[in-house]
Structures are given as C-alpha cells and as structure tokens.
Amino acid sequence: MKKLILASLLAISFSSFSQHGLDQEISDIESKVIEWRRHFHQHPELSNREFKTAEKIAAHLQSLGMEVQTGIAYTGVVGILKGNNPGKVLALRADIDALPVTERNDLPFKSNVKSTFDGKDVGVMHACGHDTHIAILMGVAEVLSKNKDKINGTIKFIFQPAEEGAPEGEEGGAELMVKEGVLKNPDVDAIFGLHIGSGQPIGTIAYKSGGIMAASQSFKITVNGKQTHGSRPWSGIDPIMISAKIIDGLQTIISRESNLTTEGAVITVGKIDSGVRSNIIPEKAEMIGTIRTLDYDMQKHINKRMEEMVPAIAKAYRAEATIEIEKGYPITFNNPDLTAKMLPSLETVAGKDRVFNIKAITGAEDFSFFQKEVPGLYFFLGGKSPTTNEAFPHHTPDFIIDEAGMLLGVKAFVQLSIDYLNN
C-alpha cells in the first residue's frame, strides 16, 4: 500500500510541462533566449568588470516584477520570486563573466571587444558558454514569473560574477557572494546550476552524484638565480633551466606518488615568465599554474610534496625558490540525496535515454562554494551540434556551441524548480 501511495505522489510531482500548462510558454521563450545570448556574446566583460552585463540582467528581472538586488560581490545580481503559496527557498545560479581570449569564429555576433588582463592587452570572449547560462536563466525567470500560482515557496535567481577567478588582489565569485549573504534572507534550502558543454551532444544532460568536478588551486613559483652573460653560464645560476627541472619534478608527484586509482589529479604550469633577451641569463623566473584534485587527502599530499620539492630542486642547482599555493575552489559535490530526488525531473525533460551518469572531470567550478553551505545539484547541458564532427574545447578562440541546445536548459531549470518546491 505504501509503495502505491509513493508511486502516485511521484507521478504528480514529476509531471510534464503539458500537465503544468507550460509547453507553449517555454517554446515561445526560445527566440528571446537566443537573442539575449547573442547580445552577451557580442558584449563580453571580464571577471568583476561585468557592469553592462549586470545592468541588462537587472533591468530584465525588474521588468518581471521581481525584487532585485545588485552590487553583490561587486557586479552580482539577484532576483527574488515569491510564489503564491508558502514553501522552501530554491536558488538557481548562472555565471556571467567572460575570458581573456580573442575570438577566432566568424559569427555575425562575434566578439571584437578588447580589454586589459594582468597588464596585457587582450581580446575578450565568452569562451566557456557563460553567455548561454545567463540567457537560459533569464528565460527561466520570465517563464516562472508568469506562473507564480504553480510555485510553493521562493526562488532566488543568482547571476554570479567572476566564476573564472577574480583579478589579482581582489575577492570575487561565489565565495564572496556567500560571504555577503546571498544564501540568506530568505535562507536557501537547495541550489541548482548547469554548464553547457561544447563536446556534449545537444538534447542531452550529464550528471554525477557526489564529486563531479575537481577542487582547483592556483600556485606561483619564484626561482631566484644569478644573472650573467649568455656566453658564460658557469658564472651565473640559470633560473630558466631550474624552472624546467622543477616542472619535470612536479609531474612525478602525479605519475609516481599519487594513487590515481583513487581519483584523478593534475598539475599544470600555465605560464613561465623570465628574461629579456637572447644573450642574458636572467636573475629570476616566475611560474604560475593550477592543481586539480578530486580527493582532499590527495590534495593535502600533493600540496605538501610541492612545498618540499620546489625549494629542494632549486637548492640542488644552487638557487632559491619559493612556492605559494592558494586555497582555491573546493570539490564540486552533488548532494547524493538531492541528486537522486531530482533525477526524475531531468529525465522528464530530456528523456531517460538522454540523461547520462558520467565520471568526475578535472575541470573546476566555484559553484562548489554554494554547495558547501546548502545541498546542491550541478549538471552538464549538451551544446554540440549534430552536424559537426569537431568540438573545440572551452577556453579556446574557436569555442562554439549550438544554440538549439539552450532550450533544454530552460526546461530543466523550470522542471527542477517546480518539482523541488512542490514535492
């Protein structure tokens, strides 16, 4: 008897859009979502500098009659939608910043924006799909604001800046939003987020219970040598050569000291800066990079060994070296109970055969700061066109997604919201 009652309740809770009367409204919003996405793609802004982006988001939410908060974590925007009936508080999040990447695509709405990043002139591009995330959540906000009678509780629409990391010397992103109380007043009970994927077919959703994305830490290594003429290396101490030895040594922490059958881990040096001309061995070299881990014990071991190894290798070659490792982002962790509870919602909108359970990936997300405070579910939305064989990676000049995949993101957020608050 209990099983029959439970089955009946689930059938009501996870009903389709047609039963909620939302089919047409969601279909009608697609052209707006595409238009918004193209606007944001053509006018990208770097982390903590998303001023025009925030203005457009806030104006849209205000036009829907929401209570709107601006200036959270510098440029963050929050819209609060209260349903007609009391209930829990749900948050939906989209990240809004772009990257210092010069676009190489030949789109009619390609970005030609230029800016300055880390003291260098750069192009600016939505090379990770955050433009689609903004547009999707704006569409969700419009649909749900017209259907408050179907909402038991409150929804917070969180448009978050600086997911890619705040500029040097600044705070930012999800961590700062949490610090400034974005999950309070009213207190959030759960949060959902998504990320479009250039290599994942449109019409699909990918998820994983537990850790789905890695913890990420940035590090900086400074090697101090002794400057000399390039013709007389024996009279100096070469920090470039020593940097190469350090890079080589760091990789052995992964290949020879990390139990990769437990979880994956990656150390990447992304930039090395040293010297001014060909015939001078410089005095100093600086390196920056990232550490990606999916297990906190492994993270502790890797941090410890890097801190031991870097000065030791430098000392072996008569130099001195220091390493600074940032706290970074936590593991993006999907609450197992919440994931199991909401899986039927994802299967309802995409089809059971189009929702995939995946292995964890070594990318990172500061959505993890929200998940440290409240139960969260983060999933991936397909953005790869069925007509293309090559998918360009995120954070590259050729990154591109198929806009036909965005409507499923709207459907997923709407379904999750109604099911979570009404179940």
Known catalytic residues are 329, 403
From the number of C-beta atoms within 10 Å of its C-beta (0-12, 13-18, 19+), residue 7 rates as exposed
- Token pair of 42 as six digits: 């053509």
- Amino acid 129 reads G
Omega within 30 of 0 (cis) for the link into 186: yes
DSSP string of 281-321, one letter each residue = E-SEEEEEEEEEESSHHHHHHHHHHHHHHHHHHHHHTT-EE
d(CA 333, CA 214): 9
Whole-angstrom CA distances from 65 to 43, 79, 80, 170, 179 are 26, 9, 9, 33, 27
Element (H, E) at 200: strand 190-201
Cα end-to-end distance, the chain, whole Å? 20
d(CA 27, CA 203): 15
Among candidate residues 187, 179, 123, the one with its CA nearest the CA of residue 154: 187
d(CA 397, CA 126): 9
Q: Is 76 helix (H, G, I), strand (E, B) or coil?
A: strand
- Amino acid 56 reads K
Residue 37 CB contacts under 8 Å (≥ 6 apart), including other chains: 131, 132, 134, 135, 403, 406
Q: Is 347 helix (H, G, I), strand (E, B) or coil?
A: helix
